[in-house]
């Protein structure tokens, strides 16, 4: 069975061209949704995916109708493949029921993995360069040496821990973590 899925982002857009293309592709059942592609919770897409069984084909007009990103598309196609469901994108002419379609899908997967590796390498190089300039990543320390010294003096003078924490601008747990409070 061919199961079609069409999606537009807003009510002002029309689904008619997608619906026509899905009908022309021979879809037996068509699921239609109005939802942003950026949303991860698309109930009609979820319904369509749950509806399909082994041997079915999931059909979309364009790749961006089904997935938010390349990594989401790869995840979706891997899930379909594990369930024995083919994928067909009409405009890109990708059909995973054929050897050529599976090749194109695997190329997409390799490109996405390559892109993730490049991002990771650039991030690591940036962190190394920042460390060489004396910059350290992460959240700035709330309890500085000056604040700790001031807190210790106030505590030694008998000021309540809660008042000391408020005076130096830290939380009570932070004060306890950095100062020995009796």
DSSP code for 139: P
Which of 9-13, 55-59, 85-89, 135-139 has the lowest average pLDDT?
A: 9-13
Judge whether 86 counts as a catalytic residue.
no
DSSP code for 144: -
Q: According to the model, what pLDDT value does residue 38 have?
A: 66
Of 17 and 112, which is predicted with more confidence? 17
Q: Which member of 9, 97, 98, 171 is catalytic?
A: 9
pTM of the model: 0.59
For helices 70-82 and 43-51, angle between their N-to-C axes, nearest 10 degrees: 30
- Report whether pLDDT(49) > 80: yes
Q: According to the model, what pLDDT value does residue 153 have?
A: 93
pLDDT band at 140 (very low <50, low <70, confident <90, very high): confident
Q: According to the model, what pLDDT value does residue 182 have?
A: 53
pLDDT, tens digit, for every residue of 74-83?
888 889 989 9
Query: Residues of the chain with pLDDT > 90: what percent?
Result: 38
Q: Do the beta carbons of residue 35 and residue 7 sit within 8 Å?
A: yes
């Amino acid at each position: 069975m061919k199961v079609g899925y069409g999606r537009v982002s807003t009510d002002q857009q029309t689904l008619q061209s997608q619906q026509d293309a899905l009908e022309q592709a021979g879809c037996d059942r068509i699921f239609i949704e109005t939802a942003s592609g950026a949303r991860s919770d698309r109930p009609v897409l979820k319904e369509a995916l749950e509806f399909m069984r082994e041997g079915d084909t999931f059909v979309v007009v364009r790749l961006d109708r089904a997935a938010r990103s390349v990594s989401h598309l790869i995840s979706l196609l891997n899930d379909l493949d594990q369930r024995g469901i083919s994928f067909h994108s009409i405009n890109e002419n990708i059909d995973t029921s054929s050897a050529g379609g599976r090749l194109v899908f695997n190329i997409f997967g390799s490109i996405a993995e390559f892109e993730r590796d490049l991002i990771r390498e650039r991030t690591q190089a940036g962190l190394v360069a920042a460390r060489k300039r004396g910059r350290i990543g992460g959240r700035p320390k709330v309890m500085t040496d000056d604040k700790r010294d001031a807190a210790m003096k106030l505590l030694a003078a008998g000021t309540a821990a809660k008042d000391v924490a408020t005076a130096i601008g830290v939380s009570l747990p932070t004060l306890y973590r950095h100062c020995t409070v009796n």
